């Protein structure tokens, strides 16, 4: 029985890999065509586009894995069924529950692969891809938008216009408020560099002090800025939350909560990353009814088409419910888990009907 389980698992995994390669090739080609619109912008040439596409592949692998798991499982089990191998196994006394054990092995392998890609490979690769494109197009390491980004640190509100390639800030504005929420000090600096004392060194500083007597302006060459924002958090601030590792998301969520800022977007991204490996496993189990259920008499092409529609439907439902949760303020873990739980219930229902 162990030999048969390994054989079934190997067949499903090889089919999943083949489907994943086809999907990656298709999506990479479409992404390449889209990137050609920016060809010649700054120093963004064909070499940079190819490098950007290469480092963006882990992102596509991670996104397409649930669909590839479903289609690969349907294709693998369908091939076994079309060659009457599953019939021979059933005739030899092997139950569907025993076949499910091989499917569980595949699900565990895909879950481990999803965690590895999502938490180890994807964050650093996506960061590098964005740095390549940003440096080529604008000469900076990146920012939330063309107007920079804002952060809050206690009663300080900070605006950073650009992040330079060496991790320094360019165009820093710090707005300090008192306990009554009145603006008391505005500090503007040309650059900010993090030093060994866990503080930022500001250069070419202009400070405007606001009090009851008026506004006092002074210019100084250097000033020190103590902030919770450090170089280790730069990538968290610049990179969208869905591309961050789980531990970075937890760190930044804690930072935002300490400063009484909205965390829903990051919490949903956190729970989506938790549910992603489970989604791949659910897609594998959902493939079983396509082979043993109502579609067992359909040709392999029909089963693949049905599997593709279900996989695309899951992907769209998953993405849509994430945005619906943000708009209507649904609890983040519910927004992230409803699509996966819903399709898991669907898989369980159809598997219960298999005889």
Burial pattern 168-205, b for ≥16 Cβ within 10 A else e, equals: bbbebbbbbeeeeeeeebbbbbebbebeeeeebbbeeb
- Reference 329, options 264, 282, 266; nearest CA is 264
Q: What are phi and psi of 188, to 5 degrees?
A: -120, 130
Pairing of strands 156-163, 214-225: unpaired
As a 3-state breakdown, the chain gives helix, strand, coil percent values, each rounded to 5, of: 65, 15, 20
Domains and CATH numbers, the chain: 2-139+264-352 (no CATH), 155-227 (2.60.450.10)
Between residues 322 and 50, which one has the greater pLDDT?
Answer: 50
For the chain, give the percent of residues with pLDDT over 70: 90
Give residue-wise pLDDT tens across range 184-234.
Answer: 899 999 988 888 777 889 999 999 999 888 889 999 988 888 877 776 666
Which of 105-109, 186-190, 224-228, 272-276 is predicted with the least confidence, judged by mean pLDDT?
224-228
Beta bridge partners of 150: 159
String of DSSP letters for 268-292: HHHHHHHHHHHHHHHHHHHTHHHHH
pLDDT for res 145: 53
Give residue-wise pLDDT tens across range 36-64.
Answer: 988 888 888 999 999 999 999 999 999 89
| Residues making up the chain, counted from first to last | 355
| Predicted TM-score of the model (pTM) | 0.73
Pairing of strands 183-194, 200-211: antiparallel
Q: What angle do CA 66, 70, 72 make, to 5 degrees?
A: 110
Distance CA 85, CA 97 (A): 16
Alpha-carbon separation of residue 76 from 8, 18, 238 (angstroms): 8, 10, 41
Report whether pLDDT(113) > 90. Answer: yes
Distance CA 299, CA 82 (A): 8
Q: How confident is the model at residue 347 (pLDDT cuts 50, 70, 90)?
A: confident
Q: What angle do CA 307, 311, 313 make, to 5 degrees?
A: 115
Distance CA 161, CA 145 (A): 9
């Amino acid at each position: 029985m162990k030999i048969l389980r390994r054989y079934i698992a190997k067949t499903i995994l090889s089919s999943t890999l083949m489907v994943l390669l086809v999907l990656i090739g298709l999506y990479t080609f479409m992404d390449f065509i889209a990137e050609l619109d920016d060809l010649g912008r700054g120093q963004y040439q064909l070499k940079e586009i190819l490098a950007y596409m290469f480092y963006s592949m882990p992102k596509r692998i991670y996104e397409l894995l649930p669909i590839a798991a479903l289609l690969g499982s349907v294709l693998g089990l369908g091939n076994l069924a079309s060659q009457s191998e599953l019939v021979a196994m059933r005739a030899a006394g092997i139950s569907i529950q025993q076949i499910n054990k091989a499917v569980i092995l595949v699900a565990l392998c895909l879950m481990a692969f999803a965690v590895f890609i999502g938490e180890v490979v994807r964050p650093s690769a996506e960061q590098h891809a964005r740095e390549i494109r940003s440096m080529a197009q604008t000469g900076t390491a990146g920012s939330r938008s063309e107007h920079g980004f804002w952060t809050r640190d206690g009663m300080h509100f900070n605006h950073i216009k650009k992040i330079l390639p060496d991790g320094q800030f360019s165009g820093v504005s710090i707005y300090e408020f008192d306990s009554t929420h009145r603006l008391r000090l505005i500090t503007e600096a040309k650059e900010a560099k993090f030093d060994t004392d866990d503080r930022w060194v500001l250069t070419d500083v202009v400070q405007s002090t606001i009090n009851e007597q008026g506004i006092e302006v002074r210019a100084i060459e250097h000033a020190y800025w103590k902030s919770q924002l450090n170089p280790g958090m730069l990538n968290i601030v610049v990179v969208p939350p869905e591309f961050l590792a789980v531990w970075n998301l937890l760190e930044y969520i804690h930072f935002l909560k300490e400063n009484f800022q909205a965390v829903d977007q990051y919490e949903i991204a956190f729970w989506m990353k938790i549910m992603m490996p489970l989604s791949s496993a659910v897609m594998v189990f959902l493939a079983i009814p396509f082979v043993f259920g109502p579609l067992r008499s359909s040709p392999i092409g029909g089963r693949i088409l049905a599997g593709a529609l279900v996989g695309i439907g899951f992907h769209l439902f998953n993405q849509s419910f994430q945005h619906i949760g943000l708009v209507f303020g649904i609890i983040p873990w519910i927004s992230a888990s409803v699509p996966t739980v819903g399709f898991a219930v669907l898989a369980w229902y159809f598997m219960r009907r298999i005889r």
